[in-house]
Structure 1
Amino acid sequence: MSSRFVFTNGHTLQLDAPPIKHFLQANPGAYTTSRTHNNASCLLFWDRHITRLSHSIHILSILAPQLLFKTNHYHSPILLPSNALQLLVNDSMCKVLPIALKDKTDCEELAITTLVTASLEELNACQDVDEESLSKILHVHVHVESYVPLAFGTPGNGAHLALAGYGRHVATAKYSDWVRIRKTLEKLRHPSVTELLLSNDGDQILEGCVTNFFVVCCKDLDSDVGTALYDYGNKYPFEVRTAPISDGVLPGIIRHLVLEVCRSEGIPFREIAPSWSEHEIWEEAFITNSLRLVQHVDSIQVPIEWHSAHSKTWKDISWTKKQFQVGEPGMITTLIQEKIMEKAILEGYPISDMCA
C-alpha cells in the first residue's frame, strides 16, 4: 500500500496523508485504532471500538474539554444517542475503505484510526444532541494505512521494554494529545527498546505508552485481602497481574479481552500493578493493544535511579534488566493469545456488511 488516506465527515478525501502520529499531533480529539483481519475481510472488535470511542468523548467533554474542543470553556457533557456515532463513522468508512483496499497488497492488513473532534459553537447552539445535530457537532476523521502484523511467537518478534515516564492524565479516555506528550519520553528510549512503560513511583508499572502491560508470576498465597485474586478453579500455579483502571491506565479493548479469557479459562488474575521489586517471580510478560493484539516480552529494563532519570538520556542512565526466555512466549501468554484470536474470528465485523 503506497498511500495513506483520510476521510473527514464522510466526504473530504486526503490522499498521501501524513503518518498517523503526525496526523494525531495536529488534531485534538478522542480516537481509537483498530485493524483489519483475514486479508482485510473484517474489522477486529469494531463494536467495542465504537463503544470505547463514545466513552472517551463523554469523559473528555467533562474532565478535559481542551483535549476535545481546544477550549476550557464550560459546556454540557456530550451524551451520544445510541448507535449515532457508529452510523457517522461508518459513513466515512464506507467511502475510504474501497479505495484503500484497492491499494493494498496481499500480505498487508489495514490500520484504521478514527479521530473525533468537536465544535463547541455547534454544541452550545443545540438544546439536545440528536442524530441530526450530531453531524454538525462532531467532526469524524478516518485515517487508513497499511499494517503488517507481527507473527506471534516468531524469534525476534518479542517486545523489549524500558520504564521511562509517569502515568498519563485522564487515562480512562484515549485522546490525540497524548501522542504529543509522550514524545518527551523518547530521550529515554534505547535503540533496541520497542515500547516505553509508565510508572508514578518507579516500582509499580502501570502500562505502556501505547499498550497495556501484564506479567505472569507465581501465585502469592499470602496476598492482602484488599487486592482481590480472581482464582477460577485454581487450575494454574500462576496468576496474571495488570494494573487496575483505578490506578490510571487506559481501559484497553484487548486488556478487557485478556481478563475475559482468564475468567473463561480458569486462569487466576489480579488487577494490581506489577511491582518491579518483585520481578524475580515474573515468569512471563506480555503487552497488548489493538494492532499487536498480544506480544510476548523478551526483556524489561528499569533505571536504577528513577527520580533523576527524567533529566537524562538513555546513554546517561544506569539500568537494571529482566531477561525472559528470548524468542519464546510462555505457556500462559500463548494460551491467552490463542483464545483472543478465537474471539477475533467470532467478533470480526465483516467489511462487506458495513455499507449494506
Structure 2
Amino acid sequence: MGSRFVFTNGHTLQLDAPPIKHFLQANPGAYTTSRTHNNASCLLFWERHIKRLSHSIHILSILAPRLLFKTNQYHSPIVLPSNALQLLINDSMRKVLPTALKERSDGEELAITTLVNASLDGVNACQDVDEESLSQILDVHVHIESYVPLAFGTPPNGAHLALAGYGRPLPTAKYSDWVRIRKTLEKLRPPSVTELLLSNDGDQILEGCVTNFFVVCRKDLDSDVGKALPDYGNEYPFEVRTAPISDGVLPGIIRQVVIEVCRSEGIPCREIAPSWSEHEIWEEAFITSSLRLVQHVDSIQVPTEWQSALSKTWKDISWTKKQFQGVPGMITTLIQEKILEKAILEGYPISDMRAS
C-alpha cells in the first residue's frame, strides 16, 4: 500500500497519513490495534479488540476524562450499550476497507488501529448514552497501513529487550497518551534493542512498552515454585510466567490467548511477574502483541544499578545481559502454533463485515 490512510467516522480524512505513533500522539482517546490475517481475509480476534476498546473508554471516562475527551468537558462515566460500539466501528470499517484493500499489495496484511475519542458538542451533559446519542458523542478514527508479519522462528527475527522504565500509569486502559509518555524512555534504549521492558523495582518485570512479556522457567530448580504449582503430572518440567493484571500491566489480547492456550494444552502457567534475580532458570522468553502475535526473545539486558540508571542514558549504564539460544524454544513454538489455530477459529471474516 503506497500510502497510510486515516478515516474519521467512515469518511476519508487523509490518504497520506502520518505513521501511527505520530497519529496517536496528536489525538487523545482509547485505541486498539489489530491486523488482518490469511492474506487480508479476516481480522484477528476482532471481537476481543472491540470489547477491550469499550472497556478502555469506560475506564477513561471514570478515571481520566482528559485522556478521552477532545476538550476539558465533564460527563458522567460512559457505559456503552451492548454491541453499540461494535456496530459503530463496523459501520466505519465497511466504508474504509474497500479503499484499503484496493491499495494493498498481494501478500501484505493491514495493520488497523481504531482510536475513539469523545466530544459533548450538541449533547446534554446529563444525557444517557444510548445507541442514538453514541454517534454524536464518539468519533471513530481508523488508521490503516500495510504490514508484513515477521516470519516466526527465523533467527534474525528474535527480539532484543532492555529494562528501561517504570510501569505505565492507568494500565487497565489502552490510550494514546501512553505513546507520548513512553518517549521519555528512549534515552535508555541501546541501539540493538527492539523493545523496552518496564519494572517498578528493577527486578519484577511487568511488560514491554508495546508488548506483554513471558518467560519459560525450569520448575525443578525452584522449590518454592514447585510447592505452589498444581499437579500437571509432570508432563512439562517448565512453567510459563507473566505478570498479573493486578501488578499494573495492560490486559493484552494475545496475553490472554497465551494463558488460554497454556490451560488447554496442560502447560503450567502462573500469573506472577518474572523476577530478574531468577533469570538463571529462564529457558525461553517471548513477547506478544496483536501485530507480532508471538516473537521469541534473543537477549535481555538490565541495568546493574536500577535507581541511578533512570537518570542516565544507555551509554552511561552498566548492563547485565542474558542471551538465549537464538531460535524459539519448544514451549514458545507450541504456543505460537496454537495461537494461529485460535486465530483461524476466531477470525472475523472481512467479507461478512462488508456484507452486513
Normalised-by-shorter TM-score class:
over 0.9
Q: What is the rounded CA distance, in whole Å, between the counterparts of 1:178 and 1:26 in structure 2?
A: 12
Q: Cα distance, 1:180 vs. partner?
A: 0.4
Q: Cα distance, 1:189 vs. partner?
A: 0.8
Cα displacement string for residues 270-318 of structure 1 (whole angstroms, at most 9, x for unaligned residues): 1110000000000000000000000000000000111011111111111
Match of 2:224 among 217, 222, 225: 222
What is the match of residue 111 of structure 2? 111
Letter of the 2:14 counterpart: Q
Alpha-carbon spacing, 1:168–1:192, altered in 2? closer, same or farther (3 Å): same
Q: What is the rounded CA distance, in whole Å, between the counterparts of 2:32 and 2:233 in structure 1?
A: 35
What is the match of residue 337 of structure 1? 336
SS in 2 for 1:312: coil
> Where does 1:86-235 land on structure 2 (aligned, <5 Å)?
86-121=86-121, 124-125=124-125, 127-219=127-219, 220-223=222-225, 229=229, 232-235=232-235
Cα displacement string for residues 234-259 of structure 1 (whole angstroms, at most 9, x for unaligned residues): 42110000000000000000000000
What is the match of residue 238 of structure 2? 238
Is residue 300 of structure 1 aligned with residue 310 of structure 2? no
Q: What is the rounded CA distance, in whole Å, between the counterparts of 1:42 and 1:186 in structure 2?
A: 34
Determine if contact 2:35/2:291 at 8 Å carries over to the other structure: yes
Q: Which moved more, 1:9-18 or 1:92-101?
A: 9-18
Letter of the 1:28 counterpart: P
Q: Cα distance, 1:12 vs. partner?
A: 3.6
Letter of the 2:55 counterpart: H
SS in 2 for 1:69: coil
Letter of the 1:113 counterpart: T
Aligned residues: 353
Is residue 312 of structure 1 aligned with residue 312 of structure 2? yes
The alignment's TM-score, normalised by the length of structure 1, stands at: 0.96
Is residue 325 of structure 1 aligned with residue 332 of structure 2? no
Determine if contact 1:230/1:269 at 8 Å carries over to the other structure: no
What is the match of residue 63 of structure 1? 63
Determine if contact 1:218/1:239 at 8 Å carries over to the other structure: yes
Letter of the 1:39 counterpart: N
Q: Cα distance, 1:70 vs. partner?
A: 5.0
Letter of the 1:152 counterpart: F
Determine if contact 2:75/2:125 at 8 Å carries over to the other structure: no
Q: Cα distance, 1:121 vs. partner?
A: 4.3
Cα displacement string for residues 38-87 of structure 1 (whole angstroms, at most 9, x for unaligned residues): 11010000000000000000011111111111566653111001111011
CA RMSD of aligned residues (A): 1.5
Letter of the 1:22 counterpart: H
SS in 2 for 1:143: strand
Letter of the 1:95 counterpart: K
Letter of the 1:263 counterpart: R
Q: What is the rounded CA distance, in whole Å, between the counterparts of 2:177 and 2:282 in structure 1?
A: 33
What is the match of residue 352 of structure 1? 351
Q: What is the rounded CA distance, in whole Å, between the counterparts of 1:67 and 1:258 in structure 2?
A: 29
Q: Which runs of 4+ in 1 moved over 4 A?
A: 70-74, 121-124, 230-233
Letter of the 1:241 counterpart: R
Determine if contact 2:76/2:125 at 8 Å carries over to the other structure: no
What is the match of residue 37 of structure 1? 37
Alpha-carbon spacing, 1:126–1:230, altered in 2? closer, same or farther (3 Å): farther
Letter of the 2:37 counterpart: H
Letter of the 1:350 counterpart: P
What is the match of residue 16 of structure 1? 16
Alpha-carbon spacing, 1:164–1:205, altered in 2? closer, same or farther (3 Å): same
What is the match of residue 6 of structure 1? 6
SS in 2 for 1:239: strand
SS in 2 for 1:320: strand
Q: Cα distance, 1:355 vs. partner?
A: 2.3
Q: Cα distance, 1:10 vs. partner?
A: 1.5
Cα displacement string for residues 86-122 of structure 1 (whole angstroms, at most 9, x for unaligned residues): 1111111111111111111112100000000011445
Determine if contact 2:75/2:126 at 8 Å carries over to the other structure: no
Cα displacement string for residues 314-342 of structure 1 (whole angstroms, at most 9, x for unaligned residues): 1111100000001x100000000000000
Q: What is the rounded CA distance, in whole Å, between the counterparts of 1:308 and 1:231 in structure 2?
A: 42
SS in 1 for 2:98: helix
Determine if contact 2:212/2:255 at 8 Å carries over to the other structure: yes
Determine if contact 1:258/1:336 at 8 Å carries over to the other structure: yes
Letter of the 2:29 counterpart: G
Determine if contact 1:34/1:49 at 8 Å carries over to the other structure: yes
Letter of the 2:353 counterpart: M
Letter of the 1:222 counterpart: D
For structure 1, the 5+ residue unaligned runs are: none
Is residue 51 of structure 1 aligned with residue 42 of structure 2? no
The alignment's TM-score, normalised by the length of structure 2, stands at: 0.96
Q: What is the rounded CA distance, in whole Å, between the counterparts of 1:231 and 1:53 in structure 2?
A: 36
